[in-house]
Structure 1
Amino acid sequence: MEKKWWQKEVIYQIYPKSFYDSNNDGIGDIRGITEKLDYLQSLGITMVWICPIYQSPMADNGYDISDYYQLNPEFGDMKDLDELIARAKEKGIKIVLDLVINHTSDEHPWFQDLLKNPKTSKYREYYILKSGNNGEPPTNWRSVFGGSVWEPLKNTDEYYFHSFDSKQPDLNWENREVREELYKMVNYWLDKGIAGFRVDAITFIKKDQSYENLPADGVDGLVKCTKKARNQPGIEKFLHELKDETFSKYNCVTIGEAPGVPYEQYGDYIGDNGYFSMIFDFRYADLDVASGSEWFKRVDWNVLDLKKLIFTSQKEIQKAGWGANFLENHDQNRSISKYIKEEENRNFYSATMLGAMFFYLRGTPFIYQGQEIGMTNFERKSIEEFDDISSIDQYYRSMDEGYTAEEALHFINLRSRDNSRTPFHWNAKEYGGFSEVKPWLGMNENYDTINVEQQEQDPNSILNFYKKIIQVRQASECLIYGEIEPILEEHSTIIAYKRKLNNEEVVCYFNFSAEGQKVELDHSNYDVLLNNYNEEKETILDKECLLKPYQALILKKKGESYHE
């Protein structure tokens, strides 16, 4: 395998609205990120992915862009971003931005011109417009955020298409002119000096051109649009062209958000001539629901289920190219609240075990803000406390499907995207040191016990263990580039694997149980690279090992080269 510079990166995802508020208006901003670069550097981060900071009415917190070339004033201006890029570079940290090109905001000038001149606007072909059927929408497809994908175009008999919210009209990728506008914009940002893009919802850019109805899958009479508007045949033409016109002209990294791609197509996405450097696989992140977008369809799962999903993903990615490994992001709930079922077991050991387990998988690791201090889900008491439009939709859909208001609230508290969007906990002061004024979104009330300041001072904290996790990976070619081989595949509570590179072998054990578990080792002479029960480097001189509750144990055969 040819080594690429981005394979060695450690990427930290920032949700700017909730990271750090530098001007005390209750909203995080670009200068807030710049002020915390020392923190990121001390953690061991080499790259930062920032969720959208472009001009936006914020219907979907920035994923509804009204001007691709301007920044949203609540985050700052271009001078602030230029300073962030320059200061980060001085500290060895690269900047990646979000790229949202499936849709714009309905307040984008293109769509505003269409609203003013629905029959004559040059931008009619920039969006997807269809006539209704006897006063009904053109198809019975349901948007990702609920309701029809079709919204009436005022003063006409036509409808416009939106895969997501009605304020996020989809762009018409069948139109060469709109594609060229997007490529010009992408190259503008790459010329500015960013390291690349995380590419949002990219598998939605191609729609089935038949625009036919499908059998309904809900009591609303609608059917998920993903069956006709995600990863459709012909998308390969658009994705090859996007890469050829933009990414391939730069030595940049691209991380695709590509849900719905079957494993047999992974080579097209991340192979030698793939569209992207790496993609996220959401199968293991969505193991607790029957569909990633329908939170009320709960699925019971166990550690063996999680393990099978992870290892299937790793095997398929390894065949095709390179993956992007994550536990949390801005669309997921907090990992310790999801993967550790019993609240009494959510502690230092389970949090650090989880962190190490995903970090040493093959691929580039992503840390989402707050994950490194063990931030948890936040239970809200009423629907009025939620900001996330997806959560609000799921609440009402749950009740439409026959659940009570209490059950609906329970479902969205478990999976709400607001769980990961609560302001970051910097210290135990009011508002967690995020701001001196009330934040834009309700705080998780445990900031007085879970925060950066306390954990920096505690050598045995989750934060300081994350620093060790990163140091161990970055010092080991095997843990970065090595092949991955699952072991103990049928064990009910242990996830374990080997990483191999040339003659080097690292063995990784993770106990997902509150009980001790015995494991048989292949050898009787190991150096311990990492152990969440012991700070000191040690050696194991036995072929049998007892894993303590929620223990993470990373072993290397004694005598093999290892560089601090």
Structure 2
Amino acid sequence: MEKEKWWKKAVVYQIYPRSFYDANGDGIGDLRGIIEKLDYIRDLGANVIWLCPVYKSPMDDNGYDIADYYHIDEAFGTDEDMDELIAEAKKRGIRIIMDLVVNHCSDEHKWFQKAKADPEGPYGKYFYIKKGIDGKAPNNWRSIFGGSAWEPIEGTDYYYLHIFTKKQPDLNWENKELREEIYKMVNWWLDKGIGGFRLDAITYLKKEAGLPSYPADGEDGLVSVAHGALNQPGIEALLREFRDRTYGRRETLTVGETAGLTPETLLSFISLEDGVFSMVFEFSWCQLELKGPNYFWYDRQEWTPEDLKRELFSSHEMAGDRGWFGVCTENHDQPRSIDHYLPREGRNYYGATMLASMYLLLRGTPYVYQGQEIGMRNCAYASMDDYNDVSTHNQYNRALADGFSPEEALRLVQLESRDNARTPFQWDDTENAGFTTGKPWLKVNPNYTGLNAAQEERDEDSVLTWYKKMIGLRLHSQWSELISEGTFAPAYREEKNLIAYRRSFEGKTLLVLCNMQPEERELTLVAAPGQVLADNYKEAAFTGNTVRLRPYEVLIAEEA
């Protein structure tokens, strides 16, 4: 019997615990804070929570450097708090999926401590540890966060590989003993009752045999690690074994963060028949402004709604009816979507609600990132001293090294920093936005006095109310089966600055029209529409089969 694909009827709410809600007043969000806010998430309509890492960690990369996979970091609470969170979420019909980081661990993990003490011993083989060449690193790979991807082991002539920060040594998945340790840990968490995993940086697991150097692609003499470590041949075999030994035996949701997938490999990852994961994130349209393998923030290109439409449509047409995506416009690694996707004149209620409908009704499982549902915005700190994120500081220093002024480098940071999405959640208009009674670990966005959840819950015309309406339409309406099971097809593709598509199932069709421009437009439809399900201007403007779409209007209607 085929496993139930319950995740096709899911809306996932992503929580970045450090910034969600602080229950004990130390300035850091925690598990007890999440427990206190479960009713808020239930009332929004989400039925799954993706929890960013809460494992023991020195927090060099805010928890994505794990020192102990089996225990909760004291900053977030206790192991018992985690058990309570799983149980309390279940009472409300909400499943918890954990962030799983197994491309690398922390340099403070006991495995790495043993590897450093004996690089040629059994734990040395859990990592990529090699002797240097003439006192230099074993190859010229550049870390994603900048600088060499190799760090010397002090007092020896050995180096270890780290694709991310030097405190995140890469795990060697070619080593069977290491894989067995990971399978044991993953099954332990599944036995505790979690509903699945988001798999971090998972397409970096396989490295090219021999770890060769490549021609440099920068003045530093280094080359992007993507050449030898991203989506390498043979990775699918590793991942299929992983699936079959762990989550594949159960009814789980697994979503991969899968940079580097090609059209040829996509379906093997997301096939509804035999995919490695339930779904992967569709990121091709999430950072259209960044180009090149290194994603330097200064290496930018202009894009238009037509570019967004092209990427969105091509990926969904590639997946067709056989594959499944996790769809999102925000997460903990991206700027806020209102500032990212919309010009200044569209950064308002209409733009925010149009973007929400555009992605929440796509074929796939939608993910709502905390604060997105109330329209939280980027926060442009005035000083680099206010930024916490390690990649932000690396990008700033990279820009300075390549000739940008401090002012220019700071402006790039303000546009792209991951801290834009990590400012504390804005619960109300009291001090620190109601996030904490202490000093927040990261400065609160000062716009909280006029933009917060308490205010929007009282407003029938708020962004939050619109999100609830769209999630209700997706999960609890006569159209729910069409939205979860129906086909996807682009519509009115030739219309500039219009993203329009059809969702069809068993003879019924919904038409979604998103006007991506600050000007009105008239659109002649192939037929007069039937029932109008939603319009962010409240009343749709029809004359026969011609519709007038106002700036950033979204119209959702039955197609007759």
| Corresponding residue of 1:450 | 451
Offset of residue 117 of structure 1: 3.3
1:313-352 mapped onto 2 (5 Å cutoff) = 313-318=315-320, 320-342=322-344, 344-352=345-353
Asked whether 1:372 is paired with 2:376, we answer no
User: Structure 1 residues 243, 187: closer, same or farther in 2, change over 3 A?
Assistant: same
Offset of residue 134 of structure 1: 0.4
| Corresponding residue of 2:550 | 548
| Corresponding residue of 1:290 | 291
| Paired residues of 1:21 and 1:32 also in contact (CA < 8 A) | yes
| Corresponding residue of 2:172 | 172
Partner SS, residue 507 of structure 1 = strand
| Corresponding residue of 1:251 | 251
State how far apart, in whole Å, the 1-side matches of 2:3 and 2:463 are: 34
- Identify unmatched segments of 5+ residues in structure 2: none
One-letter code aligned to 1:526: G
State how far apart, in whole Å, the 2-side matches of 1:377 and 1:394 are: 17
One-letter code aligned to 1:233: P
TM-score by length of 2: 0.97
Offset of residue 122 of structure 1: 2.6
| Corresponding residue of 1:562 | none
Give the 4+ runs in structure 1 shifted more than 4 A.
538-541
Question: What whole-Å deviation, never above 9, does each CA across 1:495-549 have from its counterpart, x for those lacking one?
Answer: 1001111201000000111111111122224111111111x7x896720000111
| Paired residues of 1:528 and 1:556 also in contact (CA < 8 A) | yes
| Paired residues of 1:65 and 1:108 also in contact (CA < 8 A) | yes
| Corresponding residue of 2:32 | 31
| Corresponding residue of 2:160 | 160
| Paired residues of 2:353 and 2:466 also in contact (CA < 8 A) | yes
1:38-437 mapped onto 2 (5 Å cutoff) = 38-119=39-120, 121-271=121-271, 272-291=273-292, 293-318=295-320, 320-342=322-344, 344-437=345-438
User: Structure 1 residues 211, 94: closer, same or farther in 2, change over 3 A?
Assistant: same
Partner SS, residue 269 of structure 1 = helix
| Paired residues of 1:126 and 1:172 also in contact (CA < 8 A) | yes
Partner SS, residue 197 of structure 2 = strand
| Paired residues of 2:499 and 2:515 also in contact (CA < 8 A) | yes
| Paired residues of 1:26 and 1:440 also in contact (CA < 8 A) | yes
- Kindly, what percent of the aligned residue pairs are identical? 48
- Identify unmatched segments of 5+ residues in structure 1: 559-564
Offset of residue 345 of structure 1: 2.6
| Paired residues of 1:455 and 1:463 also in contact (CA < 8 A) | yes
State how far apart, in whole Å, the 1-side matches of 2:203 and 2:74 are: 30
Offset of residue 402 of structure 1: 2.1
State how far apart, in whole Å, the 1-side matches of 2:212 and 2:119 are: 24
Offset of residue 301 of structure 1: 0.5
One-letter code aligned to 1:125: K
1:473-488 mapped onto 2 (5 Å cutoff) = 473-474=474-475, 475=477, 476=479, 477-488=481-492
Partner SS, residue 130 of structure 1 = strand
Offset of residue 320 of structure 1: 4.2
Deviates more, 1:16-25 or 1:211-220: 211-220
Offset of residue 237 of structure 1: 1.6
One-letter code aligned to 1:484: F
Offset of residue 319 of structure 1: 5.2
User: Structure 1 residues 247, 2: closer, same or farther in 2, change over 3 A?
Assistant: closer
Question: What whole-Å deviation, never above 9, does each CA across 1:25-50 have from its counterpart, x for those lacking one?
Answer: 00000111110011011100110000
Question: What whole-Å deviation, never above 9, does each CA across 1:329-356 have from its counterpart, x for those lacking one?
Answer: 00111000000122x4311110000000
| Paired residues of 2:140 and 2:216 also in contact (CA < 8 A) | yes
State how far apart, in whole Å, the 1-side matches of 2:414 and 2:218 are: 22
Offset of residue 3 of structure 1: 7.1
| Corresponding residue of 1:510 | 514
Asked whether 1:531 is paired with 2:530, we answer no
One-letter code aligned to 1:56: S
User: Structure 1 residues 3, 179: closer, same or farther in 2, change over 3 A?
Assistant: closer
Partner SS, residue 358 of structure 1 = helix
State how far apart, in whole Å, the 2-side matches of 1:3 and 1:357 are: 27
Deviates more, 1:142-151 or 1:522-531: 522-531
One-letter code aligned to 1:391: T
TM-score by length of 1: 0.96
| Paired residues of 1:118 and 1:156 also in contact (CA < 8 A) | no
Partner SS, residue 396 of structure 2 = helix
User: Structure 1 residues 509, 208: closer, same or farther in 2, change over 3 A?
Assistant: same
What is the total number of aligned residue pairs between the two structures? 554
**C-alpha root-mean-square deviation of aligned residues, in Å?**
1.5
